[in-house]
Amino acid sequence: MHILIANDDGYLAPGLLALVDVLRPHAQLTIVAPEQNHSGASNSLTLSRPLSVHSVTGGERDGFIYINGTPTDCVHIALTGLLKTKPDLVVSGINQGENMGEDVLYSGTVAAATEGIMFGIPAIAFSQVDKGWNNLSDAAKVARDIVLQQIKQPMDATLSATQKPTLLNVNIPNLPYEQLRERYRITRLGNRHHSQSVIIQQNPRGEPIYWIGPPGEVRDNTPGTDFHAIAENCVSMTPLQLDLSHLNKQAELIERRWHPGQL
C-alpha cells in the first residue's frame, strides 16, 4: 500500500507529522505538503509562476517534500511529476479546525484530497474540529483506524471506467481516543448561514483594508448531518463526489423547453 499524504497547514504543521507517524507502520508513505499555510485555498493551482520543490534532510520530518504552492499544487505535482507510480490512496490533514458544510468548498485540506479523486485515486481528508491541536494524538489514532478500514474494505468495491472514486471527509472531535473509537457516523453535509460581514480597518497610510469575516452560524444541523454528529461528540465521515450537476433541475429545464433562443 502506497499512500500520498498532503495538507494545507504546511509541512511543519503538527497535524501532518502526527498523521505520518501513525501511518508509517502500515504503508509506504510519500509526503508532499505546502511550504506555508494555505487554509482557504480551495482547489487553486498556481499558474502565474514556477514552483520549487524541496526535501527535508534529517530530523523527524526527514524525507518530507515541500512546495511553495497550494495543497492542490502539491498533489498535482506529486502525481504528474514526482512519483513513478500512482499511489493507492491520497490522505490529507490532519487539519487544524473543522471542515463541515460549505467549508468543503473553500478547504485546502479537502482540495488536496479532491485532486487525488481527479486522478482516479480514492482519498480521505481529516480535520480536527477545534483549533489548538488538543488531543492530536487521539485524532491521529482515529485517522489511522479509518485508513486501515479503507485498506481492508475499500469504499469503492468496483468502479466503471467513467466513475470517480469516493472522497471521504472526516471531522474528529478533540476528545480522547477511548471516547471516540466506537463513535463513528456516516453523514451528509450540513449547512451554514451566510458568512458574517467583512472587517474593515485602515493601513498605516489611512487606506481601507478588508478582512474576510468569520463563517456564518449553523443553519442545518439536523440528524444525519456532519454538524449533528459533531455536536454529539461523534466522528463525522461524509462521502463526497465531484459531480455538481443538478440532475433534477436538468430534467425540469428540459421538460419546460427552457431555451433562451426561443425568446
At which residue does the C-alpha cell 520530518 appear?
61
Nearest to 72 by CA among 33, 35, 99, 100: 33
Angle at 91 between CA 230 and CA 19, to 5 degrees: 75
Tell me the backbone φ, ψ of residue 62, rounded to 5 degrees. Answer: -55, 130
Q: What is the mean pLDDT of the chain?
A: 93
Distance CA 62, CA 65 (A): 9
What is the residue type of 133?
W
Distance CA 100, CA 170 (A): 9
Nearest to 124 by CA among 109, 135, 139: 109
Structural domains in the chain? 2-192+218-262 (3.40.1210.10)
* Residues ≥6 apart with Cβ < 8 Å to 117: 90, 123, 164, 165, 166, 167, 242
Tens of each residue's pLDDT in the chain, 263 residues: 999 999 999 999 999 999 999 999 999 999 999 999 888 888 889 999 999 999 999 999 999 999 999 999 999 999 999 999 999 999 999 999 999 999 899 999 999 999 999 999 999 999 999 999 999 999 999 999 999 999 999 999 788 777 889 999 999 999 999 999 899 999 999 988 777 788 999 999 999 988 887 777 777 788 999 999 999 999 999 999 988 889 999 999 889 888 887 66
Region for 253 from its dihedrals, namely left if φ exceeds 0, alpha if ψ lies in -120 to 50, beta otherwise: alpha
What is the residue type of 12?
L
Alpha-carbon distance values, 30 to 23, 160, 229, 250 (Å): 11, 27, 32, 41
Distance CA 170, CA 185 (A): 10
- What size, in residues, is the chain? 263
What is the residue type of 63?
G
